[in-house]
Chains A and B, each alone.
Chain A
Amino acid sequence: MTELIQRRDFLKLAGMGVAVFVSGPTVLAGGSPQKRNESFYFVQLSDTHWGFNGPAINPDSQGTLKKAVAAVNALDEQPDFVVFTGDLTQTTDDRKIRRDRMAEFRDIVSQLKVKTVRFMPGEHDASLDRGEAYQEFFGDPYYTFDHKGVHFIVLDNVSDPTAAVGEKQLQWLQADLKQIERDARIVVLTHRPLFDLVPEWDWATRDGAAVIDALMPHPNVTVLYGHIHQEHHHMTGHIAHHAAKSLMWALPEPGSVPKKAQIPWNSAEPYKGLGFREVEAEVRQARYDIKEFSMKG
């Protein structure tokens, strides 16, 4: 723990990171007593779109994910786990190509030193076949896991092509939340924003409000997601939502242009807007410090 705190403080002092603080009460819930005070960190990667081919957008489409894996492997301290928040692969109508891309993606990320890797689908992975291929390769599209006093909830808002979580999953979520204490530390991982960020850009979840309503009674909830290909922070009441960068292309700021379009590659600033993040969890304070990493050539 001491090492982690020193490391975090170093990052702040060096001005390298963006720190996001989520405050909560000091009364802890859940987890075994010896684990309640632990701190840990994990890495979030998102929107890798393996299989995308567009030299004007990313001439290193075959190399960016591999560079990110190498960058994570080169971190001084290895994270407890790595999470990919969807759009692992670029969509295709071809069932075989879809599976080929997932197999290639899985092979590449198997090179991570960290062997605990969590996945969830994006619409590019799952919306055309309702998650059939995704589940063959990566298992359940929604699930929970607990780590050192934090309850992680992975939600699937893409296997239904209408961008809905759906009644069945919503009931599953409500049942899960009933089983944990009200002030448990909860991190929700999902692909699309659960709130209406820019609906006309398809940056929303059709029934996201129902998910947020279910989470609202819990005071210590943070949501990490992808989909919008940029860092973004938003509050719905006391619930913080943090979007991550992509590892394939960047997109404009929400609503900043009339029509959403991929930002072309800039050879003067290669990989601009692409990156991944570390999330350091201070479990006692229900606080998450986020440090953004930018990809470089």
Chain B
Amino acid sequence: MSFTFEVLAGGLGNTLQDAGRFGFRHQGMPVSGFLDAPLAHCANALVGNPADTTCLEMRLLGPTLQVTSGFARVAIAGDAVASVQRASGVTQALANWHSVTLREGDTLTVGAIKNGCAYISFAGGLALTSAMGSESTYVRVGVGGLNGRALAAGDRLPGRARAISPDAHELRAPEPFCHKGGPIRVMLGPQADHFSPDARRALTTSTWTTTPEQDRMGVRLAGVALEHQTRAHADIVSDGIAPGTIQVPGNGQPIVLLADCHTVGGYPKIATVISADLPRLAHMPAGTAFQFEVVSGDTACMALGEADAALQAWLGRLQRYAPSGFLDEQALYAENLVSGMCRAE
């Protein structure tokens, strides 16, 4: 059987997202979709879903969800404090990177999201209406997800008809998934020539700090002002933009565009974050300091291959586990997985 969750508390900034809405940018429609697709892939893998299945993307404060019918298997990928209150009244911490099966009356409470972005996946997926080929929420015009907006108390999240098997194994990851560290790699352009040589140097030699002005559209950075060649170079005839583009308005303070960014813009763009590193921008709460490094297209291509390989290696290390006592006793007896009982955090 499937499941239904009732949202008891919506949390803050939680939207349903999938891989994005492609093919409509010529109509002015942003792509939206996962800010950190590899992390969503991790969440989905933990419950046996295809990589791009719609997840709940959490940015600040997670929701409180109660199973009102059926049973649901979920997993959290990312750094979030979560607990499960069983219908019986027993409350236990829910470890991230572990799947868990919830039954009618069980309540999942997710607290603060520690580094900007985490995902809850739902085994079998949610029953949502696709808009323009995607279930991703684009809040500005109320498209996708659940009524085109962030999760709110009173919402219901129905599962798809496809049932999960109640005796399927739970999965866990032996270690958290981490993106590669180091500077954020960018390719120069499309309008690097609108900037002074000093500005192009400063892009990579100075340290940048994320500001509180950030959402799914972009992140405004604080640092040295990047000077345009001339004042006239600070405006261009609007042209195409993309997630990852670093646009620089007249004040010289760059904005890195993210998934919900517009499709065209009138500020010159000094460089663009490569796709291997763009997911890291979702994890930079205000005050995060970092540097940019300029790379070639070949390096960007190689970096993406490396990132994909690292993700595949992580996925390959997922393990079956027996949950800590409150679930699936038959499986426990059958497999005699006593070590699983020790996970009582």
On whether the two chains bind one another, the answer is no
A residues near B (Cβ < 8 Å) are none
Q: Residues of B at under 8 Å CB distance from A?
A: none
